[in-house]
Amino acid sequence: MYQRRTLVASSVGLHARPAGLVAKTAAGQPAKVRIAKITAGVAGDPVDAASVLGLMTLGAAHGDEVELTAEGDAAQESVDALAELIAQDLDA
């Protein structure tokens, strides 16, 4: 399993347009990626990163830390692609 943490850069967090962009990118990855919001240093329940509804239910706001995880041969490639996207301001 490969995991990576990153900060949410979008001013609206993972809501609406940013969630759609992340979900679309996740759906195109070779490995299934799960994402969880970090609270007090601990990862919450992960959701499928390819689900807009799942992403929105995380309640990840601007500046929150999230943890992405995946398994398999393409896990690192898939996680890194999403981590880099989330670390960008997707509202611009």
Helix (H), strand (E) counts: the chain: 3, 5
Element of type H or E holding 80: helix 75-86
**CA dihedral of residues 52, 36, 6, 29 (deg, nearest 10):** -50
The yes-or-no answer on residue 15 being catalytic is yes
Name the catalytic one among 10, 13, 14, 15.
15
Distance CA 25, CA 74 (A): 14
- Cβ atoms of 15 and 31 within 8 Å: the answer is no
Just list the catalytic residues: 15
